[in-house]
Structure 1
Amino acid sequence: MRLTETPTPADPEAWNAYLAEGNAKQARKRVAADVLLRDPVGRVLLVNPTYKPGWDLPGGMAEANEPPEDAARRELIEELGLHIVLRGLLVVDWVAPHGPWDDQLAFIFDGGTLDQDQADRLRPRDDELSEAAFVSADEAAARLRDRIRHRLEGALRALDTGRPLYLRDGAPAL
Structure 2
Amino acid sequence: MTTRPQPGTAEWDAYLAEGNAKQARKRVSADVLLRDAGGRLLVVKPTYKEAWDLPGGMAEANESPEDAARRELREELGLAVELRGLLCVDWVAPHGPWDDQLAFIFNGGTLTESQARSLYPRDYELSACEFVTSADALTMLPHRTRRRAAQALRALAEQQPSYLENGESTS
TM-score, normalised to structure 2's length? 0.97
Q: How does 1:39-118 map to 2 (within 5 A)?
A: 39-118=36-115
Query: d(CA) in 1 for partners of 2:6 and 2:104?
Result: 36
SS at match of 1:124: coil
Equivalent position amino acid for 1:6 in 2: R
- Identify the residue that residue 127 of structure 1 maps to in structure 2: 124
Equivalent position amino acid for 1:38 in 2: R
- Identify the residue that residue 4 of structure 1 maps to in structure 2: 2
State the 1:8 CA deviation. 3.0
Q: Cα deviation per residue 1:31-51 (whole Å; 9 max; x = unaligned)? A: 000010000111100000001
Corresponding residue pairs, total: 171
SS at match of 2:34: strand
Query: d(CA) in 2 for partners of 1:150 and 1:20?
Result: 38
Q: Cα deviation per residue 1:118-167 (whole Å; 9 max; x = unaligned)? A: 11121111111011010111101110001111111111111111111100
**Long gaps (5+) in structure 2:** none
2:25 to 28, 47, 67: 28
State the 1:57 CA deviation. 0.2
TM-score, normalised to structure 1's length? 0.96
State the 1:13 CA deviation. 1.4
State the 1:173 CA deviation. 1.5
Equivalent position amino acid for 1:5 in 2: T
SS at match of 1:57: coil
Equivalent position amino acid for 2:9 in 1: P
Query: d(CA) in 1 for partners of 2:55 and 2:100?
Result: 21
Query: d(CA) in 2 for partners of 1:161 and 1:7?
Result: 50
**Long gaps (5+) in structure 1:** none
SS at match of 2:50: coil
- Identify the residue that residue 172 of structure 1 maps to in structure 2: 169
SS at match of 1:98: coil
Equivalent position amino acid for 2:2 in 1: T
The Cα RMSD (Å) is 0.9
Alignment identity in percent? 65
SS at match of 1:6: coil
State the 1:117 CA deviation. 1.9
Equivalent position amino acid for 2:157 in 1: D
